[in-house]
Structure 1
Amino acid sequence: MQVKNNVVVGMLLGLILPLLAWVFSEVFFRREIIADKPGVPYLIAVAINLILLKQIYKANAEKAGIGLLIVTFTVVILTFVFKIKLH
């Protein structure tokens, strides 16, 4: 996988899965999936981001990995504050 070694590219890669999780959980499946566990789709997206992070570091794209890591930790903190803690 050829990844441009840029922090912004890593941040954009890191935003894809959490945004997809938000679209599926909030727009399409508003009340149908996991009603008592609202943070699960986001945490699954974070787990996949961490697997992607491993692949990015194997490709020697450290700056892109830093951008992905920043977004991943931000999503974890926001998921905890807004989805898990407030429910």
Structure 2
Amino acid sequence: MFKSNNITAGVIYGLILPGISLFVFLYLLKGNFLIFNKPGVPYLVAIGLNLLIARFYSKKGMDKAAIGIVAVSFIFMLAVFIFKLQPIK
């Protein structure tokens, strides 16, 4: 299933963990979940796990899929930083 080595497959693989974290922490827990009084920690954990998966793919020689996963992780990290970690003025 996860043996495709192209960027679109990497993007799809990279969207799985952040999508699950968004669903769980925004819809099931209604955004009231804090770890160490920080609202962005659950999403940053999902990004960290995504980067571990990207490392696994790059070690297997599937560099294009790893590029897709890292690109999604970077975009998700920017979105978390902008929408969750910055105070609204």
Q: Higher RCO, 1 or 2 (CA under 8 Å, sep at least 6)?
A: 1
Inter-partner Cα distance in structure 2 for 1:86 and 1:32 = 16
Q: How many residues align?
A: 87
1:3–1:56 CA contact under 8 A, matched in 2: no
Deviations 1:31-59 (A, max 9, x none): 54217422111100000001101100111
Partner of 1:9: 9
1:17, 1:2 → 2: CA distance? 14
TM-score, scaled to structure 1: 0.90
Give the Cα separation in 1 of the matches to 2:73 and 2:31.
Answer: 25
Gaps of 5+ in 2: none
Gaps of 5+ in 1: none
Partner residue of 1:49?
Answer: 50
Q: How does 1:1-87 map to 2 (within 5 A)?
A: 3-34=3-34, 36-86=37-87
Partner letter of residue 74 of structure 1?
A: I
- CA drift of 1:3 comes to 2.1
2 CA distance for matches of 1:15 and 1:29?
20
Structure 1 moving runs of 4+ over 2 Å: none
| Distance across 2 between alignment mates of 1:84 and 1:18 | 16
